[in-house]
Amino acid sequence: MTTVTQPRGGARAADSPLTTRARRLRRASRWWPALLLVALCTAPFSALPLPGLLDGPIGSPGNLQLLALCLLFGGLATGYDLLLGRTGLLSFGHALYFAAGAYVTNTVLLRTGQSLGVCALLGLLAGLLLSILLGAVSLRVSGIGFSMVTLAFAQAGSILVQRDPGGITGGEEGKAVPADQLPSWLVGIGHTANLYWIALAYLGVVLVAVHWAVRSPVGRVWEGIKENERRVEVLGLRPYGFKLIAFVLAGFLAALGGTVHLLLTGGATPQTTTSDFTLSLLVMVVLGGSGTRWGPMAGGILYTWADHRLGDFAGSGVVAGLPAAVRVPLSQPLFLLGALFVAVIYLLPGGVARMPARLRALRTSRPTTDRKEALQP
């Protein structure tokens, strides 16, 4: 009895043009982060206009300020995803560590007159210690209990800031950064590009730190905790310590972001201490794609850009000239932002980061559908 063996790769050879094209597209897609980095590095020197996206040239001070905020919140959302997307922890108090970095840095700068580097270092230390202390308490419970405890801490911090004990926080008005104590290369519209470089550096630090942490042995335990915490316990590991590491790292990155935000906006404001601020981070992560490498960054950038641009659109003359039934909802930036979020959730389940995979799936399913239709009598 003769056995006929099919040569290796025969099945691949039948549809080799399709697979070859897919491999080329996959290889080309690996280079998009490098292309994005080049584009971001050349933005301050570019006079290219982007109608509809930005007002005027890319390198103008106003656009660089907006781009810097987009990069900042892209990094902040990436750090927050260490809790939500990587470890499965839904925290409503992440704004507290962001505000700690901003307020402590600004307060030390105002009260002591120390250099910006020393004040920023103390702000980071405050955020680190606060995240260790509150994380050690919050992680004693899990699930919705953990979320409620973090929310309670955030509300307590927000009330403390608004009551302005000893005139430290400035209450509802906040506290402006003393421009005379900042380095000259950070003061004035002419130096907006330097603030942009700081925001870009912050984003790079967060991406590297998160990528390193997720790929480490600790990161693999985080993934196991997210999937099945009980199974991790059965393996002899203690989830509490690993979750605390994720909590502290995310809090430290948030405190660093608060210091950058202080420089970008020129002051510390109580809006950054509220639970609504953390909810915005949650929306950014879900919008971009929770648990993905680039999704939270994309969500943070898209949300921040839309928040500013839709606000300008809501107050434009185009909306003012519409009938009242249409003008009233469109004149509310939050309505426009919410409608955009709902549309993305329904049209792109899993976030913006999973859109390329969905497009590839549609592209590969079309030839199969065409073959079936051709074979039908």
Q: CA-to-CA distance for 114 and 252, rounded, in angstroms?
A: 22
Task: Judge contact between 262 and 104, C-beta under 8 A.
Answer: no
Phi and psi at residue 49, in whole multiples of 5°? -85, 150
pLDDT > 90 fraction of the chain, expressed in percent and rounded: 45
Q: Which of 226, 237, 91 is nearest to 150 (CA)?
A: 91
For the chain, what percentages of helix, strand and coil (3-state, to nearest 5) are there?
75, 0, 20
**104 has pLDDT over 60:** yes
| pLDDT score of 11 | 47
Cα separation of the two ends of the chain? 38
| pLDDT score of 179 | 85
pLDDT higher at 12 or 302 = 302
Indicate the pTM of the whole model. Answer: 0.85
Furthest-apart CA pair in the chain: how many Å? Answer: 95
Q: CA-to-CA distance for 239 and 89, rounded, in angstroms?
A: 12
Tokens in use for 149? Answer: 């405890």
Q: Go through 4-27 and write b for each residue having 16 or more CB atoms within 10 A of its CB, e for each that does not.
A: eeeeeeeeeeeeeeeeeeeeeeee
pLDDT tier at 219 (50, 70, 90 boundaries)?
Answer: very high
What average pLDDT score do residues 125-150 get? 94
Q: CA-to-CA distance for 331 and 242, rounded, in angstroms?
A: 46
Lowest mean pLDDT among 76-85, 146-155, 304-313: 304-313
Provide the mean pLDDT of the chain. Answer: 84
Q: Tens digit of pLDDT for each residue in 344-357?
A: 778 777 778 777 77
Task: Judge contact between 150 and 282, C-beta under 8 A.
Answer: no
What average pLDDT score do residues 186-209 get? 93
The conformational region for residue 298 under phi > 0 = left, psi -120 to 50 = alpha, else beta, is: alpha
Half-sphere exposure of 278 (CA within 13 A, CB side): 27
Q: CA-to-CA distance for 152 and 18, rounded, in angstroms?
A: 55
Give the containing element (helix H, strand E) for 176: strand 175-176
Tokens in use for 151? Answer: 């929310």
CB atoms near residue 245 (< 10 Å): 19
Residue 342, judged by CB atoms within 10 A of its CB (0-12, 13-18, 19+), counts as: exposed
Task: Judge contact between 331 and 312, C-beta under 8 A.
Answer: no
Q: For domain 58-369, give the CATH number.
A: 1.10.3470
| pLDDT score of 13 | 46
Query: Residue for token digits 């996206």?
Result: 53
Q: Tens digit of pLDDT for each residue in 20-41?
A: 665 665 665 566 777 888 888 8
Q: Go through 126-138 and write b for each residue having 16 or more CB atoms within 10 A of its CB, e for each that does not.
A: bbbebbeebbeeb
| pLDDT score of 368 | 52
Distance of CA 219 to the CA centre of its chain: 19
